[in-house]
Structure 1
Amino acid sequence: MDEVCSLLGVRPQTVYAYVSRGKIEVMTDPADSRRSLYRAEDASGLARRKKAGRKHETLAVNALFGSEPSIPTALCAFFRGRLYYRGQDAVSMAAAANLEEVARLLWDAEQPVDFSSPAALPSPGSGKPGRGVAFASLAALAATGHSTRGRLTRVLHGEAQSLVGQLANAFGARHGAKPLHLRFAQGWKQSAKVAELLRTAMVLLADHELTSSAFVSRIAASTGASLPACVLAGLTTLSGPLHGDASGQVAALFSEVERLGEDRVLAHYLSTGLPLPGFGHPLYPDGDPRAAALLALFEPPPVIARFIHKATQLTGLNPNIDVALAGLVAHHRLPTDAAFGLFATARSVGLLAHSLEQLGVGQVIRPRGRYVGPAPEASHGSVP
C-alpha cells in the first residue's frame, strides 16, 4: 500500500476508491492473508495518466467521483481499516452503546438523545410497515417542514430526535419510550437476545463518512431545506442497490443458496465471472470489521454459513456488512424489509449529523458541470 500511495501521490483512502472503480486490481497476499497486493501495471498506468495532464476539469471530476473528497467533516473517518465516530472506534462502541448514545456523539448534543415517539408517522394507503410508508410520510413532512435557517441547534436536535423515532415506527418498531433496538424487537416479536443484535447492527450502521447519501443530505442542508427533506433526500439515495439496499441483493443470493445449495450457486457465480454480492469492500481490503463484529455474535443458517466460508476461501474476499445484515434477517426470520429498515433508521442518524454539520458552513454546495455535448449553435445575428 505504501508503495502505491507513493507512486500515485495519494492517501490510502484514494487507493481504495481506485480499487472500487476497477482502476487497480487487488488480491490477498498468499504469504500473509492480512496484507493485500496491488497490480503493479495498473498502478503504473494510472500514474502515467495522472502525470499526463491534471487539468482543472479533471480535478473537478475526480473530486466528485471519489478521488479526493473535499468536504471537511469531524463526524466519521477510517484509520488503518477501522471505522471511527468522532475519534471513537465504532466496533468498540457497538459492544455496549445504543443508537441513542451514538446520535448524541455524532450530533454533538448537550443532552441525552431520546427517540421515543407516542405515535407513528401518518401512514398512507394500507399502512403496512416498510419503506413505502416511511418514504411517503417523510415526503409529506418535507412538503410542510420548516427551513433549518435561523433556528437554534437544540431545537433542530429535538426535531431530529422525533424524525428518527417516527421513522423507526414506520418500519415496524413498537411505539414507546424504550431505546430503538428494544422497540424494533418488540414490534417484530423478537427476544431480548435478538434486540442486542439489532442494537449492535444499528450502531455499526450509523454513519460511514461521506457516502453518496450523506453528500445528498448535505447538499439539501446547504440550501436551507427542512430536516425531513434532508433525511428524505439521503434515504432515497440510500435505497439504491449499490448503496444501502445491497443487503437485498445478498438476501436474493441467500435464497438461491437455500434452494440450490452452496456448491451449485458458487459454481455458477465463479464459472461465469459474476461478482458475489456482499463480498469485499473497497474501503476494507482486509475485511469489513463491522461484518466481522456482527457475524461473531450469531450463527447464520448452516447452508448460508457454509456458503460464506466457501465463498471467502475461493475468492479471497471477506463478507461485508450487507452479508452480516442479510444473515441476521435470515437467521431470525425478520420481516422482509427489516434489513433496509434497520439500515435506514440507523443511517438517518448519520444523515442528520451531516446535515447539521453542513449548516455551520453557510454556503450552498453547487458543483459545476463539465459540458461534453454538441457545440452550441451560432447566435442569431452573429458576424461570420
Structure 2
Amino acid sequence: MKTLWITAEEALARLGSKRQTLYANVSRGRIRAKPDPSDPRRSLYQSDDVNRLAERHAGRRQAAVVAAEAIRWGEPVLTTTISSIAGGKLFYRGHDAIALSEKASLEETAAFLWQSPEIIAIPAGEAAAGRTRLATTFALLAGRIDTDLPALGRRPLILKSEAALVLATVAAGLAPSREPLPLHERLAVGWARPEAADPIRRCLVLAAEHELNVSAFAARVTASSGAALSAATLSGLATLTGPRHGGAWLSVTRLAEQAASAGVREAIRDMLSSDGVVRAFGHRLYPAGDPRAKAIMASFDVPPLYITLAEAGEELLGEPANLDFSLAALAAAFDLPEDAPLVIFALARTVGWLAHAMEQVESGELIRPRAHYAGS
C-alpha cells in the first residue's frame, strides 16, 4: 500500500495544534517527515502518523487499540539504550553509525554495543561441511542450548563473555576459517574475494543493529523468559529467514534479473503488479532515504544495472534504495555467492540480538502482552 504524505497545513488542520507542536512530534519520532520534492524548503508529513496522533488527542481510541497499533510501526514499546533512529539517522548508543562504520570492525562494534571493557576476539572456527552456512549455524546454536546456562540471574560481565562465545559459534557456521582473521576478512577470504573485505566490513557494522526490528524483538522475548543467550540468538536467526525481514534481498536479486532481461521500468512494473511492493526501495523509518545504503554503496563500484535500478526506483516510486538493495548490489559487484547478503546480514545482526538479549535480562522484565480475543 502506497505511503501517503501531506503538507504541514493539512497536518496542522488534522491535529488542531500549533506548528511548533508538529515539529516537536517529528523530532520525537512520532510523525515521520521528508523534504517536499517540489519544494525542498518545505516538508511533507506521513499521513498515518498524523491521523494516529489526531485520534489519540481526540480521545476516540481505547487503550487496547493503542497497544495493538504500537507493535505495527507505532509508538516505542520498549526502553533501550542500544540504538535509536531519529532525523533520518541511525545512532549506536548515541553515536552516528555511519561515522562508526568508516573504520570500525564488527568485533569493535560488538564491544561498543555490549559495553564490553575490551575488543571482542573471535577465534578461528569451522563446522563440518555438507550443509548450507545458514543450516550449519542453526545446528551449532541448537547444540549449545542443552549445555548453556539460563541467562537470568547471572552478572553482566559473565554474560558478555558468553555472548562472545555465542558470536564465535555463529561465525563458525557463517564465516568458517582456519585462521583467526577479523570477521569481514574471514568472509572475503572464504569467498575468494579479498578485495571485498572493506565493503563487507562496512556492511557488517551498519547491519549490526537497528532498534526494535522483528528479529531483535524475538530475541528479547526469548531472553525475557530467562533462556540462554544462544536460545535468544537462535530465535533471532529463525525470524531472519522470513521474506519480509532477512529474506528481502531475494526480491532485489529477482528484480535485477528481470531488469536485465526485460528492462528496468518493466521489471519495477511487474513487481508492483505481482507483489504490490518493491522491497528494494524505501524504508518507513527513513523518509529521505536509508543512510546505510548510501554509505555502503559509496564503498565500492556499483554495477551499472544497479545504478540504473536505483535511479529508476527513485524516479518511479519516489523512494531511494535501501539496505537490502545495497547488500544485493555488493554481492553482484564482487560476484559473491547467492546467499552472501543473508550471510552478511545474519552475522552482523547477531551482535545486535545479543545486545538486546543482555539488556532484556538486565531489566528483569518478562515480555508478556495480553491478547484481544475476537472469536465467537
Distance in 2 between residues matched to 1:306 and 1:101, nearest whole Å: 35
Deviation, 1:336, is 1.6
Q: In the alignment, is the contact (CA less than 8 A) between 1:221 and 1:356 conserved in 2?
A: yes
Aligned length: 360
User: Aligned to 1:184, which of 183, 187, 191?
Assistant: 187
User: Which one of 29, 33, 46 corresponds to residue 36 of structure 2?
Assistant: 29
Deviation by residue 1:166-212 (Cα, 9 ceiling, x = unmatched)? 21221244233221001111111112x31000000000001001112
Q: Check 1:267–1:66 CA distance in 2 against 1; reply closer, same or farther (3 A cut).
A: closer
Instruction: State which of 283, 286, 297 in structure 1 corresponds to 2:285.
Output: 283
Asked if 1:147 corresponds to 2:142, the answer is: no
Structure 2: which amino acid aligns with 1:179?
Answer: P
Residue of structure 1 in register with 2:31 after alignment:
15
Q: Per the alignment, in what secondary structure is the counterpart of residue 84 of structure 2?
A: strand
Give 2:252's match in structure 1, choosing from 250, 253, 257.
250
Match of 2:135 in 1: 132
SS, match of residue 90 in structure 2:
strand
2:87 to 77, 80, 86: 80
After superposing the two structures, state which structure 1 stretch, 331-340 or 133-142, moved more. Answer: 133-142
Q: Which amino acid aligns with 2:120?
A: V
Q: How far did 1:350 drift? A: 0.4
Deviation at 1:34, TM superposition (A): 8.0
Ranges in structure 1 where 5+ consecutive residues have no aligned partner: 17-25, 375-384
| Residue 156 (1) aligns with residue 172 (2) | no
Unaligned runs of 5+ in 2: 1-6
Q: How far does residue 215 in structure 1 lie from its aligned partner after superposition?
A: 1.2
Is the contact made by 1:202 and 1:342 (CA closer than 8 Å) also made in structure 2? yes
TM-score, scaled to structure 1: 0.85
Partner of 1:377: none
2:249 partner amino acid: S
Question: 1:163 & 1:202 partners in 2: Cα distance?
Answer: 17
- Counterpart of 2:68? 61
Contact 2:107 2:121 in 1 (8 A): yes
Counterparts of 1:119-268 in structure 2, within 5 Å, are 119-121=125-127, 123=128, 127-191=130-194, 193-268=195-270
TM-score by length of 2: 0.87
Q: 1:168, 1:341 within 8 Å by CA — same for their partners in 2?
A: no
Deviates more, 1:129-138 or 1:205-214: 129-138
Deviations 1:120-167 (A, max 9, x none): 34x4xx533421111222122224322112333232222211222221
Output the aligned Cα RMSD: 2.7
How many angstroms does 1:33 deviate by? 5.0
Q: 1:40 to 1:111 in 2, by over 3 A?
A: closer
Q: d(CA) in 2 for partners of 1:289 and 1:250?
A: 18
Cα offsets for 1:324-359 (capped at 9, x unmatched): 001001111111211111101100000000001111
Provide the rounded CA distance (Å) in 2 between the counterparts of 1:245 and 1:52: 39
How far off is 1:87 after superposition?
Answer: 0.8
- Counterpart of 1:360 in 2: which secondary structure? helix
Give the CA deviation at 1:72: 0.8
Alpha-carbon distance between aligned partners in 2 of 1:340 and 1:369, rounded to the nearest angstrom: 33
| Partner residue, 2:99 | 92
Counting aligned pairs with the same residue, the percent is 37
Structure showing greater Rg:
1
User: Which residue does the alignment assign to 1:19?
Assistant: none
- In structure 1, the residue matched to 2:4 is none
Report the counterpart of residue 317 of structure 1 in structure 2.
319
Rounded to whole Å, the distance in 2 between the matches of 1:209 and 1:45 is 21
Matched-pair contact (CA < 8 Å) for 1:294–1:324:
yes
For the residues of structure 2 that align with 1:162 and 1:273, how far apart are their CA atoms?
40
